[in-house]
Amino acid sequence: MDDQGLRSVPTTPPSRRAAGSRTPARPPVDTAEPAWKAVRSSVTLLVLIVLIGGYAYPMVATEVAQTLTPATAGGSLLQSPNGTYYGSTLLGQNVTSPCLFWLRPSIIDYQAFTGAGSEVPYGPTDPHLLNITTYYAHLYGLTNVSAPVDLFSASASGLDPAITPEAAFVQVPRVAQNTSLTEAWLTGFVQAHVNAELLGFIGPEYVNVLELDLDLESHLPSAGLGGGCGVG
Amino acid sequence: MIPTATLPEIVLIFIVGLALAAALGRYMANVYQGGFSRWDPIAIPIERGLFALMGVDPKRAMGWREYLRGLLVTDAIAIGFVFLLLQDQHSLPWNSLNVPDMSWHLAFHTASAFGTNTDYQHYAPESQVSLFASLFGLQTLMFLSPATGLCTFVAFARGFARNDGKVGNYYSDLVRTFTRILIPLTVLGALAFILLGVPQTLTQAVAIAPLPFAGGGSEIIPLGPVAGWDSIEFLGTNGGGYFAANAAHPFQNPSASTNLVAILLMMAIPFGAPFAFARIVRRPGEVWPLIGTVLIVFLIGFGLFLFAAGSNTYLPASVDQGSGYFVGAESRFTISESALFQFTSVYSNTGATSMSLASLTPIAQTVLLFGMFLQATPGGDGIGFSMLLIYVVLAVFMGGLMVGRSPEYLGKKISMPQVKWAAAALLSHPFAILIPVAVTVVSGNVVPALGGYSPHGFTILLYEFTSEAANNGSGMAPIHDGTEFFNVVGALVMLAGRYFPILAMLAIAGSLSQQDSRPPGPGTLKTRTATFTVFLALFLIIVAGLLFLPVLALGPFSQIAAGG
């Protein structure tokens, strides 16, 4: 490549770099460096990018994050009084108790570590999509009402902790039936847990089901994390 | 159905993104022209030290061949280094999850993917890349690959601005891109993500006991320096996820606000490039036909995408889609927000995903494929705009012939050498997509990868190679592509899709920079007009349409026709 570079120039013999470099009035002279110098420059450059982009930048960012926002920097983890972690407010879990609110179906059953393959694997016109939607409508006992599509369909991450407010309200009759709580009280309870739009126009209204259920649990007769369902 | 209630927000974000990009474009032009900056008192001594270490005289301009050689040598060494690193990550430090070494072909695919700004991932990062390989290997390439793109861009721009046969100094351009554009902006982006609740820790995973009332849940939550990763993932139009679920993962994109920051970062450099270009060639008014063309295609595409992604008519009416078609989308974003993220990500060739692409309607999938066929509206950092210049070279030539004007652009005559290289760059794209698709189909790799033959399966296969050839990196599930065949062919497609156009772009830059700039005559084709803008936009759409309509007919169009 070096030789081609020299050959292509139809001008005076190539002068050395020091002589030719800063005199723009001269006709074009290709003064390409030898290849070994390019390798040396490239390697030095890469060492620099590894040290700054690969090491210094994430280290400094971590220091800053642990100082400014220690809780969220650590993954917004939920810790029980005895010190064990039982999840993150950002990650959904597959709630199955009939007296609590349920989340969306998950392709990976809310396993954060597998991660791979969380994407919805069927197309929009695939009969499987219709089947699975109907399956969940039956499972959730919601065949007679119009329910929002998010409650019956998987998210892209398989870890979505949120549902639309409508998907929470539609579950109120079931929760009321399985607990001693009234529908009116539960509706108000869900209402209080609706995350509003940011600044009034950014983001949807949604309910973080994990937070909703943790709070609801404390209102059930056998309160506490180990309690599960209350009075049937 | 377009969810109209959320449209004002989308419009506002887009306008803010454009305004920031225009400001960044002016700043970038200043950086590449060696203008003064408030960073100078700190930056100049550091840069001087670096150049001394590298043995580079930053003022010495290179011919295009030497520029290309520097670029290729740097990228080759970097990709080779990461190729080796990924195959040995098991025995290296920072591997508390006991991640095994990658196979040679997966390492080849992954290193090529991150080195070419594609970031197509044939693996699950959680369980297949250690923190060490992630930071020193992949994140390093995430800084290098957008810088490579921007160097190509600025060298191409200088071809129009200079007449001494030179295109600039590669090492100087790369160092300044890194220290003055990428580092300051990623630090700002990382800070925003940190403040908005994205994790940033060196802990690789936390063991948890799931809630007792949960029938399933994680026993291990993988964590990491996600905020910093996010920032360079989006700003660098890389698109490789720290987690497999990428920007849909609640750690990478926990709220609508982080979603918006990500959109702004993805828009910044691709939409800033036309503004930088117009200043580098010292004709600020020439930005309008270029940005106008990009906007025409981008906005039409986004309108279609939003329309097509908003609802799915195949679902029964008893399923309420009032808030949108949420299959494969996250509930903490509105459908419009998910759609703007996804569309911007694919059209800027970032390739991060916040939705499941397989469950999108066929029209929405077609719109995304079209963006990757074009690669230039706005396309990836540096390369996207350089692709637009390739189209401009061809459009000026053809337009000039059609109306009997002499084909000139910015005072440089467009003739055979430039048109040959531009046509080669343009035609390399269908070659890099259609040949591997055909090879996969005839070599019996369809059934193992996709389970069988179907229009939807064909769309997935077409999407895979289109994404790799366009250096995009988004993928459609489910395709079993972690095999030796897909890894090796995919890596070759990405390398060809990256470096052949770069060769063409630098060759054109070199030939243009040997010409003297001529003043416009009465016979010169005027490019600063609305007519030329519309002509250029139509040129893009028609050329991509002609090249790729047949293959679209086999995939998404058959899907629509079959209704299944």
pLDDT digit string (tens) for B326-360?
899 999 999 999 999 999 999 999 999 999 999 89
* Residue range A30-79, pLDDT digits in tens: 578 888 899 999 999 999 999 999 999 999 999 999 999 999 999 999 98
Q: What is the C-alpha separation between A166 and A193, in angstroms, rounded?
A: 12
How much is the pLDDT for A113? 84
Per-residue pLDDT band at A6 (split at 50, 70, 90): very low
Does residue A20 carry a pLDDT above 60? no
- The residue among A223, A103, A112, A130 whose CA lies nearest residue B331 is A103
Count of CB atoms situated within 10 Å of the CB of A21: 16
Chain A closest-CA separation from residue B442 CA (Å): 24
- pLDDT single digits (tens) B367-389: 999 999 999 999 999 999 999 99
Contacts of B140 in chain A (CB under 8 A): 46, 49-50, 53-54
Measured distance CA(B71)–CA(A226) in Å, rounded: 60
Name the residue in chain B with its Cα closest to that of A93. B217
Chain B residues near residue A39 by CB distance under 8 angstroms: 73, 77
User: Sorting pLDDT into bands at 50, 70 and 90, what band is B320?
Assistant: confident
Tell whether the model's pLDDT for residue A118 goes beyond 80.
no
pLDDT at residue number A8: 43
Sign of CA dihedral B294, B297, B302, B303: positive
Q: Does A146 touch chain B (CB under 8 A)?
A: yes
Our measurement of the distance from residue B350's CA atom to the centroid of its chain's CA atoms, rounded to an integer in Å, reads 4
Size of interface A-B (CB pairs under 8 A): 432
Check: CB of residue B168 under 8 Å from CB of residue B154.
yes
CB pair distance less than 8 Å for A76 and B329: no
Provide the percentage of residues in chain B whose pLDDT is more than 90. Answer: 79
Beta strands in B183-257 (DSSP E): 205-207, 214-216, 220-222
pLDDT at position B513, please? 96
From chain A residues 175-194, the ones with a CB under 8 A of any chain B CB are: none
Summary mean pLDDT of chain B:
93
Task: Identify the CA nearest to B294 among candidates B507, B17, B5, B550.
Answer: B17
The residue type of B146 is P
- pLDDT of res. A116: 62
Nearest to B121 by CA among B133, B108, B110, B135: B110
Residues of B in contact with A156 (CB under 8 A): 245, 248, 328-330, 353-356
Residue A154 at interface with chain B, using a CB cutoff of 8 Å: yes
Question: Under a CB-based contact definition with an 8 Å cutoff, are residues B64 and B509 in contact?
Answer: yes
pLDDT of residue A227: 45
Mean pLDDT for chain A? 82
Assess A34–B contact: CB distance below 8 Å, yes or no: no
Q: Percent of chain A beyond pLDDT 70?
A: 81
d(CA B342, CA B368): 9
| Site of tokens 């200079």 | B162
> Cβ B245–A115 below 8 Å, yes or no?
yes
CA A116 to chain B, closest CA, distance in angstroms equals 5
Nearest-CA distance A175 → chain B (Å): 14
pLDDT at A3: 41
Q: How far is B118 from chain A (nearest CA, A)?
A: 18
In A, which residues are within 8 Å of B244 by CB distance? 115-118
Which residue, B412, B471, B405, is CA-closest to B145? B471
Q: Which of A213-222, B231-240, B283-292 has the weakest average pLDDT?
A: A213-222
Predicted TM-score (pTM) of the model is 0.93
Q: Is the pLDDT of residue B317 over 80?
A: no
Q: Which residues of A195-229 are buried (b: 16+ CB within 10 A; e: fewer)?
A: bebeeeebbbebbbbbebbbebbeebeeeebebbb
**What's the whole-number mean pLDDT along residues B296-304?**
96
Where b means 16+ CB within 10 Å and e means fewer, B492-528 reads bbbbbbbbbbbbbbbbbbbbbbbbebeeeeeebbebe
| A115 has a pLDDT exceeding 80 | no
At B289, the amino acid letter reads P
Of all helices (H) and strands (E), which one includes residue A148?
strand A147-148
Q: Which residues of B touch A112 (CB under 8 A)?
A: 126, 218, 220-222
Q: Does A129 contact chain B (CB < 8 Å)? A: yes
Q: What is the pLDDT of residue A121?
A: 81
Q: B246 to chain A: nearest residue by CA?
A: A157
Its ipTM equals: 0.94
Q: Are A16 and A48 in contact (CB under 8 A)?
A: no
Position A222 scores a pLDDT of 59
Q: Is B251 on the interface with A (CB under 8 A)?
A: yes
Exposed, middle or buried, A15 (CB in 10 Å: 0-12/13-18/19+)? middle
For residue A153, which residues of chain B lie inside 8 Å, CB to CB?
Answer: 326-328
Report how far residue B106's alpha carbon sits from residue A91's, in angstroms, rounded to the nearest whole number.
29
More confident residue, B515 or A201: B515
Q: Phi then psi for B368, rounded to 5 degrees?
A: -65, -45
Position A231 scores a pLDDT of: 39
pLDDT of residue B3: 63
Q: pLDDT class for A224, splitting at 50, 70, 90?
A: very low
pLDDT digits (tens, 9 = 90+) for B274-287: 999 999 999 999 99
Highest mean pLDDT range out of A106-115, B93-102, B188-197? B188-197
Q: Quick check: A164 contacting B, CB < 8 Å? A: yes
Tens-place pLDDT, residues A142-193: 887 888 889 999 999 999 999 999 999 999 999 999 888 899 999 999 999 9
Q: In terms of Cα–Cα distance, which of B546, B555, B292, B534 is closest to B429?
A: B546
Report how far residue B516's alpha carbon sits from residue A71's, in angstroms, rounded to the nearest whole number: 61
